[in-house]
Structure 1
Amino acid sequence: MGRKVLILNQDYSALGICSVPKAFLLVYLDKAELVAASSAFQLHTVSTSFPLPTVIRLNRYINLPYKGVMLTRQNIFKRDGHRCVYCSSTEDLTLDHVMPKSRGGRTSWENLATACKRCNAKKGDCTPEEASMPMRHRPFKPSFVLFLRDYSGAVEESWMPFLTKREKVY
């Protein structure tokens, strides 16, 4: 059961994603309510059937002071579509500092990009402009909702009304 469930805060803002068993448990224990269920699948016990949740809403508001996407290697790869930003290769991927660290480049969303080993070595200690290596897109920091919608894998149709609002990107 590899399906995922969107978790909404009490105010219907997206909080995260969890597994179906965890979502079912939250609904069963009255810690959340079922907002949307799968029309094609159900959960079965010996004597009862339950709707398979796709979206749940917590009954209590959870205050999250920072709701952002963690800067990790895998999240950079997801943002860039698991492709080199220079040649679109999917082989031997590494992280590249657009402005090299040796020249004051920082480790940030806006300065890290996915690059294959060959392009990373070719670029070396230069900027993409100096190395005459145009980028497919400039690195950016994704918002939490954008990341859930575009980079979390398969997105259920029932999630879309809750993931279409744009968050402010800092």
Structure 2
Amino acid sequence: MAKVLVLNASYEPLNITSWRRAAVLLIKGKAEQVEHNGKLIYSDFNLPTVIRLRHFVRVPYKEIPLTRRNILHRDSHACQYCGYTGEDLTLDHVIPRSRGGGDTWENMVTACVRCNVKKGSRTPQEAHMLLFHQPRKPYSSLYFEVSKHLKSGLHQEWQKYIIGL
């Protein structure tokens, strides 16, 4: 089933919805079509891939939970030291807990067992191990869902509406 990116009136990504829900918003005049993929729902009604709400909707900030699954997704299920992409990945503290490093988005990365053991209770600089990407907190919870679609090759037209991917 086709998914549609919903933008606020300010072009800020709000949500991902089904094409049916997007069509209803368009028909009711609550949204306008920004992008489409050329497929038709009806004779002169294109299947939308990006819509924009006509009126601004205030959305409260929602904290993204720091979980193993979310860290693995942020790091693309790959070791941040060697690039290994297998089943037996662990989480590594960039600044070890024994040195005061905490459980934060900016201090935790995905690592394979081999690299995690090699690094031990040292910092990456002390272990002479460079990180592929500096760990950071994701911009929004929508980041995870959108990045899945973009990494799978679907909906590349969403890229220009997403900052930081």
Partner of 1:62: 57
Distance 1:23 1:147, change over 3 A: same
Shift of the alpha carbon at 1:93?
Answer: 1.7
- Amino acid of the structure 2 residue aligned with 1:112: M
Aligned counterpart for 2:99 among listed residues 100, 103, 109:
103
Describe the shift of the 1:20–1:95 C-alpha distance in structure 2 as closer, same or farther (beyond 3 A): farther
Q: Give the aligned CA root-mean-square deviation in angstroms.
A: 3.1
Provide the residue aligned with 1:34 in structure 2.
Answer: 33
> How far apart are residue 108 of structure 1 and its match?
1.7
* Unmatched runs of 5 consecutive residues or more in structure 2: none
Distance 2:44 2:135 in 1: 47
| Aligned partner letter, 2:37 | S
The normalised TM-score by structure 2 is 0.75
User: SS at 1:89's partner residue?
Assistant: coil
Unaligned stretches of 5+ residues in structure 1: none
Q: Is the 8 A contact 1:95 1:113 kept in 2?
A: yes
- Number of residue pairs the alignment of both structures matches: 160
1:158 corresponds in structure 2 to 157
Q: Of the candidates 38, 41, 44, which is equivalent to residue 43 of structure 1? A: 41
Separation of aligned partners in 2, 1:146 and 1:50: 27
Task: Tell me, in whole angstroms, the C-alpha distance in 2 between the residues paired with 1:70 and 1:27.
Answer: 33
Which residue does the alignment assign to 2:15?
A: 16
TM-score (norm 1): 0.73
Distance 1:72-1:160 versus aligned 2 partners, 3 A rule: same
Label 1:72 to 1:156 Cα distance change in 2 as closer, same or farther (>3 A): same
| Cα distance, 1:24–1:146 mapped onto 2, change above 3 Å | closer
Letter of the 1:90 counterpart:
T
SS of aligned partner of 1:99: coil
Find the residue that maps to 2:69 and give its secondary structure: helix
The change in CA–CA distance for 1:18 and 1:89 in structure 2 (over 3 A counts) is: same
Deviations 1:115-147 (A, max 9, x none): 112222332322222333222232123434994
Letter aligned with residue 9 of structure 1? N
Determine whether 1:123 maps to 2:119: yes
Do 1:78 and 1:151's aligned partners in 2 also have CA atoms closer than 8 Å? no
Percent pairwise identity: 46
Do the aligned partners of residues 94 and 162 (structure 1) sit closer, same or farther apart at CA in structure 2, a change above 3 Å counting? same
Which of 59, 69, 81 in structure 2 is aligned with 1:86?
81
